[in-house]
Chain A
């Protein structure tokens, strides 16, 4: 990579990191808002119980369960975000595509949700699928694909992600029940990412699938 390419990579990478961070912090804030209301409702019930009837144990149990579920979802997002944050630590490492897909869907699900779409990691059989690559650049390629689909799709669309290994190559396939994909518009930075990761993005199955293929980097 020359100096100009490196500067572009730095600027676009930072913008991408900021977008994901803002998205994740919004999602955590939403969970905190729900926990705040559920906790407040428990306090309301407690105050009412002191004034008249006792507490309904089933009701309290349901509310406590709801709080636990919100905490569990927040924890999942924070763990995924931690993985994402550490992806800049090494420029070349072994990435398990199965773990990568689950993490990326967790931290980007909301990007689809705010447009009324659903993003799911739809792997029938989970398997360890390592590829030697640059994780941060791969995350950006994933994001390019996802943003493109979201921009083309409509509310109600379900976007499924699958992974596959073909020899040493790794594949991330986004698919939709409707023909919304099309080719990703030309972008210098996308070309640079493809070049750095020995990657390609192809639209298939009558515009119902977008496949990101990466080859392993050499040491």
Chain B
């Protein structure tokens, strides 16, 4: 079975490196970048099934990055990570097309489950699009 391609975006270096390693050890094909700009640059060269995106980042915010991703790569699913105690920003992200969100600190099992669900959702979307084209 092909590995699910995941891109993690977080400007906290230690967090990024650790989460990338932990996801890799769970069988995902993972890359990590430390800014919204790097995320968009990499996505213009490579395709990812799921993006795990921190909402609070310097310069380009997570919500701005989310908008760009949904505009340019609408089938790529985005799971947001938010440090906010309230669900407000997570819900705002959902309204902008994110697949789901998790509040930091999140449990790895929850993140892994969300990534699988998001990847399944993308596969279903791609299938639907292919069916439409074939019709």
Contact = CB atoms under 8 A, between A and B. Distances in A.
Contacts of A25: 85
A192 interface: no
Nearest to B83: A29
A155 B105 contact: no
Contact of A37 (B22, B58, B59): B22
Interface in A36-50: 36-38, 40-41, 44, 48
B56 A36 contact: no
Contacts of A70: 14
B19 A30 contact: no
Contact of B56 (A26, A32, A41, A44): A26
Interface in A106-134: 113-116
A29 B105 contact: yes
Which bucket holds chain A's interface residue count? 20 to 34
Given A33-B15, A41-B21, A114 B105 contact: no
A34 interface: yes
Q: Which residue among A37, A38, A115 has the maximum number of chain B CB atoms within 10 Å of its CB?
A: A37
A34 B10 CA distance: 11
Interface centre among B15, B19, B57, B108 (most CB of A within 10 A): B15
Q: B interface, by DSSP: helix, strand, loop or mixed?
A: loop
Contacts of B25: 44, 48
Given A30-B104, A33-B104, A34-B15, A114 B56 contact: yes
Interface of A, secondary structure class, is helix
B12 interface: yes
B18 A34 contact: yes
Nearest to B58: A116
A149 to B, nearest CB: 16
B114 to A, nearest CB: 16
Contacts of A113: 58
B14 A30 contact: no
A114 B58 CA distance: 4
A33 B83 contact: yes
Q: Which 6 pairs across A and B sit closest by C-beta, in order of nearness?
A: A36-B105, A33-B104, A116-B58, A37-B18, A33-B105, A116-B59
Interface of A: 25-26, 29-30, 32-38, 40-41, 44, 48, 66, 70, 113-116, 155
Given A32-B104, A35-B105, 10 more contacts: A25-B85, A29-B105, A30-B83, A30-B104, A32-B105, A33-B81, A36-B106, A40-B108, A44-B22, A115-B58
30 contacts: A26-B83, A29-B83, A29-B85, A30-B12, A30-B83, A32-B105, A33-B81, A33-B83, A33-B104, A33-B106, A34-B12, A34-B14, A34-B18, A36-B104, A36-B105, A37-B15, A37-B19, A37-B22, A37-B105, A38-B18, A40-B18, A41-B22, A44-B22, A44-B25, A48-B25, A113-B58, A114-B57, A115-B58, A115-B59, A155-B59
Interface of B: 12, 14-15, 18-19, 21-22, 25, 56-59, 81, 83-85, 104-106, 108
